Amino acid sequence: MSPIFPAAKVGGALMKTLAKPVSSRIQSLARTDDFWRGKTVALGQALNILSRRITRVAENNKTRRAIPPLKEAAALDWGATFIGESFVFGVTTLIIISEYQRAAKKDREQDMLKRLQREDKE
Instruction: List pLDDT tens digits, range 39-63.
Output: 999 999 999 999 999 998 998 888 8
Confidence of residue 2 (pLDDT cuts 50, 70, 90): low
The three-point CA angle 59-64-48 to 5° equals 70
Cβ neighbours of 41 (radius 10 Å): 24
**Structure confidence by residue, pLDDT tens digits, 60-105:** 888 878 889 999 999 999 999 999 999 999 999 998 898 888 889 9
pLDDT given for residue 4 in this prediction? 57
Q: Are 41 and 76 in contact (CB under 8 A)?
A: yes
